[in-house]
Structure 1
């Protein structure tokens, strides 16, 4: 197995490299994310071990750049930040699995073997366009009729989720899980409040309404 390791901590990297080499795996270590991105875009690897906290570039940004460039190599993200929001952010950015530090080598190996066995993912769509609405997932920017939309991170996630299901109903439960990471209903108007703010920015200043409420179900985005 050929493994790309992007990790800036020498002690951790040497431990991983030594342990995996004992399995006759080939490990290429890069302590700078830009070097790792370059090698992944030009070389062939079975999987990637990617540290969440890196100098100059966050691990989330690294995996977004890889997916945006069409690099489908499975990614296991390592982090000392094991909160639900951090795990969701990593997985939604395009990582295939998430492992908290400290970790056991046996678990690391098992997870790497698991993601390497999976069917290679298709390159994820990085640009959504609907009528005069445009959302760039890599640049994290949205615009309509050439006007940049000043969206909060949550509003961007909501719009991204809707555009991933054009002309399909996206339920309130789906939004709670995908945007907030909730596995339960908080029994609040959280979704309605943020959707109202999003629609005020995406629809109200323009002639055509793209986001519509489906009463009793959720929301739908599409050309009318």
Structure 2
């Protein structure tokens, strides 16, 4: 399960990150509302942990903007202890749960598990579809007309980003941050290699979906009927 934590108290965020990773969660951190919103809009997360008091953009505004953009990712809102008004505003704005600070990590883990179960009960969110392809995020299988190919984890994560932001141009920097994190030595050529791998696998299953390069901007996932193609 992939979690985004938007929290400006770095020490606290990094401590929770370690706990989540020990429990086999994949975690990305954002230390201000502006970057947190940008990450959340990618649609690649299973759950978002969102503090209310954030620099640049406050948590309630981030939450409202996510919902306005049809991002239905479950959100746990971190509130100040005893601030009933914050809880009410958060739930009215689209939060799925709230957790007053300070909290015990065991309680956070329990709430994450509960939201994860609820999410899986709604629909099979592990299957992504676009054009003639189907991506199973659990098994890493890419399917097209009864042809199947096993992806690596990085390939699966990259295709997940492309599908969830279909029709949008995605920069190499954005992909690097999502796949390798903030403090990484990964460079543009790492992205180019994985894009090449994905293109070969799409070709091998004879999919009509293609990854188009937009010079100087990034990549976009396209189908023939979309009409506009890039080089």
TM-score of the superposition, structure 2-length normalised? 0.50
CA-based RMSD of the aligned residues comes to 1.9
The aligned counterpart of 1:83 is: 83
The aligned counterpart of 1:29 is: 29
2:48 is paired with a residue whose SS is strand
The aligned counterpart of 1:153 is: none
The aligned counterpart of 2:41 is: 41
Q: Deviations over 1:192-224 (max 9, x none)?
A: xxxxxxxxxxxxxxxxxxxxxxxxxxxxxxxxx
- Shift of residue 101, structure 1, vs aligned partner: 0.7
The aligned counterpart of 1:92 is: 92
The aligned counterpart of 2:196 is: none
The count of aligned residue pairs is 122
- Shift of residue 17, structure 1, vs aligned partner: 0.4
Aligned counterparts, 1:99-110, within 5 A: 99-110=99-110
Considering only CA atoms, is the larger Rg found in Structure 1 or Structure 2? Answer: 1
Q: Deviations over 1:3-44 (max 9, x none)?
A: 001011111101110110111111100112222222222241
Q: Which runs of 5+ in 2 are unaligned?
A: 123-231
Partners of 2:20 and 2:36 in 1: how far apart?
18
TM-score of the superposition, structure 1-length normalised? 0.51
Counterparts in 2 of 1:43 and 1:66: CA distance versus 1, 3 Å: closer
